[in-house]
């Protein structure tokens, strides 16, 4: 077990202030001494600019991370070999990240582009079917598998709708998915419906979510990774990019959810994490029916940030894909980047993120949060990588309940 303690209790520093970390290492609960640790230090998700070794003395070593003259994060990567096995760890600290601003520019026709797209998508008739799912229901909650036509005729998406059994009117939470092509299990968030909130967990690819995991793996291998990923599909044209259908499908989901007789008629909350956090923010910007938004470590945020020599947002098009760094693609991405949607949001937003996240780096979460001009609140959990705890997930629901509008 690694224990890394920054010299600043909140892991944040002023520009040009030196950051240090104290490193301890335990094996079987025993504090190790005289072990030699290798380290590399550099800006978040960028090449390291300092390497070295440190030897644990009396179970500790102090490593200087140096400083930064511009807002951002430094990452210290650690390695040690114990009994023939190599163990790794890392820790990031921030330098005035509240001053981070987007690299991504806001197109002059951004609003009109999406207004026209919504109008065109609304012409697609809404067809809905739903089937009761007993294995995901209990004495407090009814669960349904929903099939919803969206964007264009013959194009469908699926989702699990969980509704409190008790008769009444309830707020609705719309929850789009994280990235990838994988099965869904509504039980992990069934506590929403158990606490008096209708919830809709939606997939975005039109693949039935109750298929077995092996089938999903086959589909994912077919078009879910690398330059064959849906996240780059159609990126040569802003009208053919795969995510256009996804963003507009989220709006169609709201069309359906607002027809539910159990809805309270007022409260419609968008909530999600990673890609789902991005889609929650996008949907909030696109649809004024949304009354609040809760987003965890949003993806698709300041994706071109690498052009500013710092970390950019997931899916890291400029470091993990080929042929993405062109003026044409940069321009198209502006219409799909979360920071540009964040500029338009007018309702309360709750965000949470961790510093040690390499999937959706804290640099981009800060940029989204800094861009928001609406009422906003952040729960920052420095130690977290690309996950949130069950406690935090319940805190998100608490925030939602505290920010409900009165009928």
CA pair distance 19, 7, nearest whole angstrom: 7
The DSSP-derived string for 370-388 is HH--SSEEEEE-TT--S--
Other Cβ atoms less than 10 A from the Cβ of 321: the count is: 17
Query: Under DSSP, is residue 297 helix (H, G, I), strand (E, B) or coil?
Result: coil
Band of pLDDT at residue 138, cut at 50, 70 and 90: very high
Give the single-character DSSP code of 162.
E
Which residues on adjacent β-strands are paired with residue 81? 86
Q: Is 274 a catalytic residue?
A: yes
Q: What is the mean pLDDT of residues 324-344?
A: 96
pLDDT tens column, 366-407: 999 999 999 999 999 999 999 999 999 999 999 999 999 987
| Joined tokens for residue 213 | 């995991």
Give the single-character DSSP code of 150.
-
> Which position among 189, 201, 287, 357 bears the catalytic label?
357
Q: Could you tell me what percent of the chain has a pLDDT over 70?
A: 100
* Residue 297 CB burial class (10 angstroms; 0-12, 13-18, ≥19): buried
Our measurement of the distance from residue 186's CA atom to the centroid of its chain's CA atoms, rounded to an integer in Å, reads 18
pLDDT of residue 217: 86
- Asked if the model's pLDDT at residue 227 lies above 80, the reply is no
Q: What is the mean pLDDT of residues 347-362?
A: 98
Q: Which CATH number fits domain 110-402: 3.40.50.1820, 3.90.170.10, 3.20.20.70, 3.30.1240.10?
A: 3.40.50.1820
CA pair distance 1, 385, nearest whole angstrom: 16
Q: What is the mean pLDDT of residues 93-100?
A: 98
| Joined tokens for residue 166 | 């008790």
pLDDT tens column, 284-294: 999 999 999 99
pLDDT tens column, 188-202: 999 999 999 999 999
Q: Quick one: residue 206, left, alpha or beta (phi over 0 = left, psi -120 to 50 = alpha)?
A: left
pLDDT of residue 278: 98
Strand pairing category for 170-175 and 263-273: parallel
CB 29 within 8 A of CB 10: no
* Residue 314 CB burial class (10 angstroms; 0-12, 13-18, ≥19): buried
CB 292 within 8 A of CB 400: yes
- How far apart, in Å, are the Cα atoms of 361 and each of 114, 154, 300, 367, 371? 27, 37, 11, 10, 16
User: What CATH number has the domain spanning 2-97?
Assistant: 2.60.40.10
Fold match, 2-97 / 110-402: no
Band of pLDDT at residue 75, cut at 50, 70 and 90: very high
* Residue 239 CB burial class (10 angstroms; 0-12, 13-18, ≥19): exposed
Band of pLDDT at residue 152, cut at 50, 70 and 90: confident
pTM for the whole structure: 0.96
Q: Is 122 a catalytic residue?
A: no
pLDDT of residue 212: 87
pLDDT tens column, 6-31: 999 999 999 999 999 999 999 999 99
pLDDT of residue 80: 96
Closest-CA residue to 348 (of 246, 270, 244):
270
pLDDT of residue 322: 87
| Joined tokens for residue 193 | 């419906």
- Asked if the model's pLDDT at residue 1 lies above 90, the reply is yes
Name the average pLDDT for the chain.
Answer: 96
- Asked if the model's pLDDT at residue 225 lies above 90, the reply is no
Our measurement of the distance from residue 130's CA atom to the centroid of its chain's CA atoms, rounded to an integer in Å, reads 28
Give the single-character DSSP code of 356.
T
**Tokens 């007993």 — which residue?**
134
Query: Under DSSP, is residue 216 helix (H, G, I), strand (E, B) or coil?
Result: helix
pLDDT of residue 192: 98
Q: Could you tell me what percent of the chain has a pLDDT over 90?
A: 90
Band of pLDDT at residue 226, cut at 50, 70 and 90: confident
Closest-CA residue to 385 (of 360, 354, 361):
354
- Asked if the model's pLDDT at residue 250 lies above 90, the reply is yes
Q: Quick one: residue 373, left, alpha or beta (phi over 0 = left, psi -120 to 50 = alpha)?
A: alpha
> Which position among 137, 229, 274, 301 bears the catalytic label?
274
Phi, psi dihedral angles at 193 (to 5 degrees): -65, -35
pLDDT of residue 182: 87
Band of pLDDT at residue 183, cut at 50, 70 and 90: confident
So where are the chain's domains? 2-97, 110-402
Q: Is 137 a catalytic residue?
A: no
């Amino acid at each position: 077990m690694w224990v890394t303690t920054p010299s600043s209790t909140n892991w944040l520093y002023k520009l040009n202030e030196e950051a240090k970390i104290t490193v301890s290492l335990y094996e079987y609960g025993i504090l190790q001494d005289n072990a030699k640790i290798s380290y590399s230090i550099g800006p978040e998700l960028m090449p390291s600019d300092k390497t070295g070794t440190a030897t644990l003395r009396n179970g500790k070593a102090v490593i200087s991370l140096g400083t930064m003259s511009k807002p951002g994060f430094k990452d210290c990567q650690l390695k040690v070999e114990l009994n023939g096995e190599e163990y790794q760890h890392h820790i990031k600290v921030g330098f005035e990240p509240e001053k981070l601003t987007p690299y991504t520019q806001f197109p002059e026709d951004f609003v009109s582009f999406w207004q026209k797209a919504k109008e065109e998508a609304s012409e697609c008739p809404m067809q809905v079917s739903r089937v009761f799912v007993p294995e995901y229901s209990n004495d407090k909650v009814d669960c349904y598998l929903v099939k919803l036509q969206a964007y264009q005729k013959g194009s469908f998406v699926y989702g699990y709708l969980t509704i409190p059994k008790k008769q009444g009117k309830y707020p609705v939470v719309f929850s789009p998915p994280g990235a990838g092509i994988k099965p869904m299990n509504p039980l992990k968030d069934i506590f929403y419906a158990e606490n008096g909130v209708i919830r809709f967990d939606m997939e975005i690819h039109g693949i039935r979510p109750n298929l077995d995991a092996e089938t999903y793996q086959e589909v994912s291998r077919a078009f879910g990774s690398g330059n064959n990923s849906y996240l780059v599909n159609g990126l040569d044209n802003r009208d053919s990019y795969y995510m256009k259908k996804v963003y507009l499908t989220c709006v169609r989901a709201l069309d359906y959810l607002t027809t539910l007789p159990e809805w309270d008629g007022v409260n419609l909350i968008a909530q999600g994490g990673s890609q789902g956090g991005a889609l929650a923010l996008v949907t909030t910007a696109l649809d004024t029916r949304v009354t609040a938004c809760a987003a965890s470590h949003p993806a698709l945020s300041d994706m071109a940030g690498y052009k500013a020599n710092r970390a950019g947002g997931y899916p890291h098009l400029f470091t993990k894909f080929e042929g993405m760094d062109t003026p044409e693609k940069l321009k198209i991405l502006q219409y799909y980047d979360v920071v540009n949607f964040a500029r338009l949001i007018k309702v309360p937003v709750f965000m949470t993120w961790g510093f040690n996240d390499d999937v959706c780096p804290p640099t981009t979460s800060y940029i989204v949060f800094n861009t928001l001009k609406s009422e906003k609140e952040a729960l920052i959990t420095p130690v977290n990588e690309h996950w949130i705890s069950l406690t935090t997930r319940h805190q998100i629901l608490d925030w939602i309940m505290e920010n409900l509008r009165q009928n």
